[in-house]
Amino acid sequence: MPLPPSPLFRCAVFDGAADPTVIHRRGTAEWWMFYTARRATLITGGVDWITGTRIGVAVSADAGATWQYRGVVEGLDPEDAPGLNTHWAPEVVWHNGRYHMFLTWGAGAPGTWAEQTRRRLVHFTSPDLEQWTFENRVDVGSENVIDAAFAIVADGRPRLWFKDEVDGSTTWSAVRDETDDGGRWRAEGQVIGLPAHEGPNVFRLGGWYWMVVDEWRGQAVYRSVDGLDWTRQMVNNGLILDSPGTGADDATYGRHADVVTQGGHAYIFYFTHPEWQDTEMVSGLEDPARAVREQRTSIHAARLHVEGDVLVCTRNLDAPVHLDPALLET
């Protein structure tokens, strides 16, 4: 059997695919990947290669083994905010007969972090993954929340987990009452505290609920019996994807991830900065070639399984990704 491609995907336009989320398109053999399309090839003296981003789409027709660029998602900006805005970290799920996208949205494409003072979560729905309708803003009482993750855990209620930048970059949760026609979310408070992190993702595997979060040194793993109270995994200081892989572009730690369960195992999709060593990035105005190298990102996949109460990650796959919609947890 051939080895899987490495990397799994690079964005054909700006070479900055990050923050992937993967979902099966019902009624077809297609799997769709939505991602933050960072403008890694932009020559700039600021951070506007990270802001001013669209949501890119890649599609796989061979069970996730290979991916083809499809374009960007249209219609994600409000009518009173035309032009180039910031779209980050989509979470796309199937729930109650529709696809739902929870998105981090910010106005404009500021060149410094100080200029973008507000980032909020917004909610869209779609019948087909192509046409998206705005539902509402997810108001959780903070003006700087990003990286929403959606799941239904043991209490049966729709729940979001997200990074609150005001609270030291920790994970909070919010719950939705589906009898409420307004679709309002109620913040529940902090779920995972320090050290600082981002990009929570929640899934069920091997009889446990799991949460992985990006600590910028690998993914930290938390375990729960009910999806409500979380305990950090003790093995390897609770980290996976912290040691380099062997594939091209994969010789560094894995960042902001999404998990697709497949019966007794799962695939974790993540991104890397293959040519950045976590030093201060050089300005594109000072050294354009080096800046583009450091800014670029790529998408990879690894395999997860559970041994007792430990989540185990196999980073260097010996076979291509193979996603089966029949094995998705309903």
Q: Residue 83 contacts by C-beta under 8 Å, 6 or more apart in sequence?
A: 77, 108
pLDDT at 143: 84
Q: Provide the pLDDT for residue 1.
A: 61
Percentage of the chain surpassing pLDDT 90? 87
Mean pLDDT of 272-293: 92
Indicate the pLDDT class of residue 316, thresholds 50, 70 and 90: very high
Q: What is the mean pLDDT of residues 265-278?
A: 96
Instruction: Find out whether 17 and 256 touch, Cβ atoms under 8 Å.
Output: no
Taking residues 106-134, what's their average pLDDT? 92
CB 262 within 8 A of CB 271: no
Identify which has the larger pLDDT, 1 or 295. 295
Helix, strand, coil percentages in the chain from 3-state DSSP, rounded to 5: 5, 45, 50
Q: For the chain, what percent of residues have pLDDT higher than 70?
A: 97
pTM of the model: 0.96
| Contact of 295 with 281, CB cutoff 8 Å | yes
Residue 330: per-residue pLDDT:
57
Strands 198-205 and 208-214, bridge-based pairing: antiparallel
The predicted pLDDT at position 179 comes to 65
pLDDT for res 82? 86
Of the pLDDT bands very low, low, confident and very high (cuts 50, 70, 90), residue 4 is confident
Q: Is the pLDDT of residue 178 over 60?
A: yes
Report the chain's mean pLDDT, rounded to a whole number.
Answer: 94
Residue 180 has pLDDT above 70, yes or no: no
At 139-162, the pLDDT tens digits run 998 889 999 999 999 999 999 999
Q: What is the pLDDT of residue 83?
A: 87
Class of domain 17-327: mainly beta
Q: Any residues with CB less than 8 A from the CB of 330 and at least 6 apart, and which?
A: none
For residue 237, give every residue at least 6 positions away whose Cβ sits within 8 Å of its Cβ, in sequence order, or none: none
**Which range (180-189, 253-262, 308-317) has the least confidence?**
180-189
What residues does 120 pair with on adjacent strands?
A: 105
